[in-house]
Chains A and B, each alone.
Chain A
Amino acid sequence: MESRLARILIKGGTAFTLAFLYVPLGIVLLYAFSESVGQAWPIDGYTTKWFGIAWRSQDVREALSHSLTVASFATIMALLLGSAAAFAVHRFSFFGRNSVSFMLVLPIALPGIVTAIALNSTINVLGIPFGILTIVIGHATFCIVVVYNNVVARLRRTPTSLVEASMDLGADGWQTFRYVTFPAIRTAIVAGALLAFALSFDEIVVTNFTAGSTLTIPKFIYNNLRLPRNRPVVNVVAIAVLILMLIPVYIAQRLAGSGGETAEARTQAEP
């Protein structure tokens, strides 16, 4: 259906975009093996010593543990509250529904620094000590949004006739949820959870203002990128995280992708 020329352009564009995305990461990978700490190109010598140094660094371990903790808690909160909000907005028509769905876009739509100084002021005013809790609060605000978006989008693609049919067949609310609704949105939830986890793991702006002195991976990187001698360790940490995350991302994408296909097939089947 697409013309020959169009296909060539599309394939070429795709290749270019992929190269654009991955060449810089490849360069980071190369610098992680660079012998010297300088950043001139081409690289002089190669070594694996930075990996050992990163592995032994206490700061790296501390930062990793904090980041994992924060991201896990923030994702769990986001899952519970984000899905609940998605259901409410999708199923019910109530006063302020538009405002609520608008409000739920704000944390991602508003600039990070606005959220950051707003939360910082509030935390100071309320006298909450800075630490893991305040970071989780900050992260959960935009993680909720991500989960909400994913679940709501999937709910919109799930025909409500299924729920009605389930009820007609005698299932109560809980059974309907367990056997009909949940399987349909399960993959959206996973995709949302994964994206929320990624956002929390990577966040620096809001974290800078809500973490106090607690070290997270982004804060570790922020501190060490400014120390010319420590940059290679940062490159190593970045590449290591990237490779580690390949597996969960792959799994999540398989789940999200397959769920999406079924929903689409259903949509197309409808007259």
Chain B
Amino acid sequence: MRSARKWLVLVSVLAVVAAACGDDGDGGGAGGTGGGGIEPPVTFSEIGEGEGALELIAWHGYTEDGTTEGYEDYDWVTPFEAESGCDVNVTYADTSDEMVTLMRQGGGSVYDGVSASGDASNRLIAGGDVGAVDPAVFPEFANVIAPLDPEGGTNNAHYVVDGNVYGTPYMYGPNFLMYNTEVVSPAPTSWADTFEADSPYAGSVTAYDSPIFIADAAMYLMATNPDLGITDPYELDQTQFDAAVDLLKQQAELIGSYWALYTDEIDGFVDGSMNIGTAWPVNFSYAELDAPVDAVEPSEGMTGWADTWMISANAPHPNCMLQWMDWTMQADVQAEVGVFYGAAGSNVNSCAAIGEFLVDAYGEGSDEFVSTLRYSNCGDADFLNSLYLWKTPQVDCGDDRGAVCIDYSEWTQAWTEIRG
């Protein structure tokens, strides 16, 4: 009886372990092959009847439903719910890491879709977590800004892989330099004050708390240390990577605190603990309500993000998701998001709509702001092409160096070292 119990314990434990071992690709969901030649797990080529519900993962500010205090007029969710009958439920995430973790839960059967940035989208595509779509299903693809166009676009590698289109382009924007106009003077034109050891603002510099920020350091080195030969801040070989990491360790001395929660940066600028650093347009929109801040495009360039609504390969409500994707490609929807968030819509017609809104709200001539940094230079294809959009760093450099670049998992470990 005694040894029977012992064996019972052993066998039960082994059974569970064996089940885990037998299954290829566990909680990480990394089932597909990385690199070239990916077949989409499923391709959606028509939109059917809605299932009545929709589970989304989104960045804050991308799914306003009129419940945000003080911004009740911004609502592009309720009209969608009325028209489609799909009841929308949103889970917010602060980083792409969180988005991928959430998306992979239950083998992709928990959430229908995600507003993925380029660093998450490639990983999700490679992992077989998202399905491809037939662009013919979405008429608005005809109006997508040129760099993001699936046909011949120059900046679409984050959602178009091997000719397969893995989602619908939504908003894009830069990670610009935000600063407190009363403390930082004269107005900065370079990232130097956030990276160089002799920065006069040491102790109140801030940076985005995510491994993807290493690309910002690499981008700075492109301008300040051309000998390194960096051409793509996301594809770094060991030497280039080490240089970027060293720069960030130097920057860590200047940092007051990092921000991962976007509200932390807003609070930081408002209470004065942060005075200069990288920011999202939505942070700027909120912060300027309570603090004297301004944003600028530094000479070394900017990283940015182009977000795509992606549909889970095992979506519980695929038709509702497809209807949402179609809805969010409309110019007027993207215009509303653009005004609220500050990002630019990938639908070129949304810029004109933003201009109209501004004229209504602020009078003649204010539609000029549409093409400024405040609204991510809406409609400016060259500007979009100048941004180093977030994408997943992979071992395959994508050029003639071969497979010598540093993978994102090492970026994560390096970031742990930098943060200390």
Residues of A that sit less than 8 Å from B by CB: 37-39, 57, 95-96, 117, 120-127, 129-130, 212-213, 215, 223, 226-230, 232
Contacts and interface: CB of A to CB of B under 8 A. Distances in A.
Contacts of A125: 19-20, 23, 26-27
A212 B106 contact: yes
Contacts of A37: 69-70
Contacts of A95: 2, 5-6
A227 B60 contact: yes
B82 interface: no
Nearest to B104: A124
B359 interface: no
B70 A96 contact: no
A123 B20 CA distance: 10
A223 B92 contact: yes
A125 B106 CA distance: 9
Interface stretch (B43-51, B107-115, B174-182, B390-398): B107-115
| Shortest 5 CB-CB contacts between residues of A and residues of B | A212-B110, A229-B69, A121-B27, A124-B27, A95-B2
Contacts of B266: 228
Contacts of A228: 263, 266-267, 286
Contact of A126 (B5, B19, B29): B19
Given A95-B6, A228-B266, A120 B105 contact: yes
A122 B6 contact: no
Interface centre among A39, A96, A226 (most CB of B within 10 A): A226
9 contacts: A37-B70, A117-B27, A121-B20, A127-B107, A129-B106, A226-B262, A227-B60, A228-B267, A229-B70
A92 to B, nearest CB: 12
A213 B19 contact: no
A226 B61 CA distance: 11
Given A96-B9, A228-B266, A229-B69, 15 more contacts: A37-B69, A39-B267, A121-B27, A122-B16, A124-B26, A125-B23, A213-B55, A213-B89, A223-B92, A226-B60, A226-B261, A226-B262, A227-B92, A228-B286, A230-B69
Contacts of A130: 105-106, 109-110
Contacts of B97: none
Contact of A230 (B29, B68, B106): B68
Interface string B55-71: 10000100000011111
Contact of B105 (A38, A96, A124, A223): A124
B106 A124 contact: yes
B6 A223 contact: no
Interface centre among A96, A117, A122, A212 (most CB of B within 10 A): A212
B134 interface: no
Contact of B91 (A96, A117, A122, A223): A223
Contacts of A38: 270, 290
A223 B55 CA distance: 15
B246 interface: no
Contacts of B364: none
Contacts of A122: 16, 20
B94 interface: yes
A120 B262 CA distance: 27
Contacts of B60: 226-227
A212 B316 CA distance: 12
A170 B52 CA distance: 63
B272 to A, nearest CB: 12
